[in-house]
Structure 1
Amino acid sequence: MTIATVSYAGKTVVAEPLTPEGFAKYGSVISPDHQVLGAPTKGAGNVFTEPDIVKPVGFYSQSKFETKSHCSFNLQRFLPPAGLDREAKKYTMTVIERHPLSTQTFFPMGVDEKEAAYLVVATENDSDGLPDLNKLRAFVARGGQSVTYGAAVWHGSTCSVRGQLDMTMFMYTNGVAADITELVQIEGGLSIEY
């Protein structure tokens, strides 16, 4: 549901590499190259475990609608969006979204772990609860990295910077569009270089 249209006259945003520390204000990142610092211990399966690296949450008890929520895993297939110039490595983002009552996690599938796969874009609220585009940050996520946007965090739609990109997406939902997603249109777009 579109709740507002805003304009942006600021500078081009330059994307940085996605790291758990850099993204911490907006949610969580699963990035084995950053988080698995030792070798797995010997034993059944040679497993290294980093417990509770992401904590999915749903706040649908706060909804004004009397509905129940459930956990939903979705398969999503992305192609490079309109506004993406892969040759120039530029993207013009025209919409930003948030999910007020749930975190949202994306797991890329079938992509080389070192390949630049998608852009992650997030920002804080301004004083009116709309996205503060002047504080927007962009990150380049590799195929071996997953991202979780915190509940009510403004973020860009998934932007594949390769060809086709398949992802598993996890979030809580109650089936009520007004609870699930809020959109803000960016008049004239916002330019991101990656």
Structure 2
Amino acid sequence: MKKLTIEPLTRAAFEPFGDVIELDGAKQIPINLGTTIRFHDLARIDVEDEGGRAIVNLFRGQPRDLPFEVSMMERHPLGSQAFLPLNDRPYLVVVAPAGELDPSQIRAFVTRGWQGVNYAKGVWHHPLLSLDQVSDFIVVDRSGGGRNLDEVSLAEPVWLDLG
């Protein structure tokens, strides 16, 4: 069984799959009479296909034990999906490029805990992979008509392990 190398999550490495949501390098705008800094336009939210609209959810992820077998992937063909962690805990992100799923192109990333991700429309990804403890995420997602979830089982699962 193939073992994935888990890479650190960086904007450059994740760019083919969407956005890394972090404050480093973000445009900063002072607001509220100078008492607040707005970190502006952190992700490209893309949910309007077929009359979709943006919704905000809270996902509570149960911790996954490593090593972990990745046996399926999913995608949302009509909209992006952004995950913003509420806890400063690393979690794993497993992705593959949009289009026909090519298992040889699956990549795995570990976040620095406070980093969020925005999966671009159609990008394959594994469902939420919290580590160590129950973790909460604000998720900006799509609601509306049309089919916005495709799931595929992998013919040959791949393994994730930090060691």
TM-score between both structures, scaled by the size of structure 2: 0.86
Equivalent position SS for 1:12: strand
2:77 — aligned with what?
A: 100
Of 115, 119, 138, which residue of structure 2 is paired with 1:168?
138
Of 78, 92, 95, which residue of structure 2 is paired with 1:119?
92
Deviations for 1:51-84, whole angstroms, at most 9, x for unmatched residues? Answer: 32211012423xxxxxx42211111111024xx3
Structure 1 residues 175 and 14: CA distance shift in structure 2, 3 A: same
2:25 — aligned with what?
A: 35
- Residue 55 (structure 1) aligned with residue 44 (structure 2): yes
Once residues 182 and 156 of structure 1 are traced to their aligned partners in structure 2, the CA distance between those partners, rounded to angstroms, is 11
Q: CA deviation at 1:46?
A: 5.4
Gaps of 5+ in 2: none
Which has the larger Rg?
1
Structure 1 residues 124 and 75: CA distance shift in structure 2, 3 A: same
Letter in 2 for 1:167: F
Once residues 148 and 74 of structure 1 are traced to their aligned partners in structure 2, the CA distance between those partners, rounded to angstroms, is 14
1:6 — aligned with what?
A: none
CA contact (8 A) 2:22 2:42 kept: no
Equivalent position SS for 2:111: strand
Deviations for 1:78-124, whole angstroms, at most 9, x for unmatched residues? Answer: 1024xx32xxxx22111100000100000111x23xx42x1111112
Of 48, 53, 64, which residue of structure 2 is paired with 1:70?
53
Once residues 121 and 27 of structure 2 are traced to their aligned partners in structure 1, the CA distance between those partners, rounded to angstroms, is 29
Once residues 72 and 171 of structure 1 are traced to their aligned partners in structure 2, the CA distance between those partners, rounded to angstroms, is 5
- Residue 186 (structure 1) aligned with residue 159 (structure 2): no
Deviations for 1:19-47, whole angstroms, at most 9, x for unmatched residues? Answer: 11110010001122x43599x8xx71252
| 1:84-163 correspondence to structure 2 within 5 Å | 84-85=65-66, 90-109=67-86, 111-112=87-88, 115-116=89-90, 118-125=91-98, 129-163=99-133
The RMSD of aligned alpha carbons is: 2.3
2:12 — aligned with what?
A: 21
Once residues 166 and 130 of structure 1 are traced to their aligned partners in structure 2, the CA distance between those partners, rounded to angstroms, is 31
Letter in 2 for 1:20: R
Relative to total residues, which structure has the larger strand share, 1 or 2? 2
